[in-house]
Chains A and B, each alone.
Chain A
């Protein structure tokens, strides 16, 4: 099922367009990688899709679910600025704040949520470090905590911008497994920007490559798709 799409999107930060007539589609329940060389506007494309940036022209659409509400999106950015300063928060508090996005302003943080936070932290192997201050963690650990926070949101769609940066090989593989698990068992959609395609390929359903157009801008798009994924799930 089509989850989100972009059509003929043109966008630039100043006068020059960075994204030129970009079209892509994201289907629900797939593990999708967005790849391309540096400066190929991968992050920009994601932000356009997420609605953080408004395109100059073209359409960005996100399908609403059966209940008529927008899908819950868990986003893990490339860098989180607050991590650099001594943000006074424990790992647990941060991941718990992921739940708050669903709970709204007043609904209580109950046992079910506590369970969710625990399983999210366990999934990324950070449960033992839950009482640590996030400023004290290493780069890879911060990345994991961010992933756990996104998981605690119980998202329909997980969008990750170069999530494996700073992870060792084993962690990366484990991470792909984890994402695969979420796609298969929890019916989620995972979109990730990555450079490590060779490694990730066995786990992926589809790859979108952003490439340089002949004669100028970073724009053109190639979709490498896997036909096997569009049938019903066993």
Chain B
């Protein structure tokens, strides 16, 4: 194994630690509800799964 390959593996391993930890903290892989606004400015809660999410919210 060359020195360059070892350096690339070190960088890859560093990314392999940081990226999954960051993704875990962000809750990746779990159901998600995001807050969006429609053209009239109303808030829409959009779920990533069928059972999550709801209707429009007026007044915001």
> Are A and B physically bound partners?
no
Residues of A participating in the B interface, judged by any CB pair closer than 8 Å: none
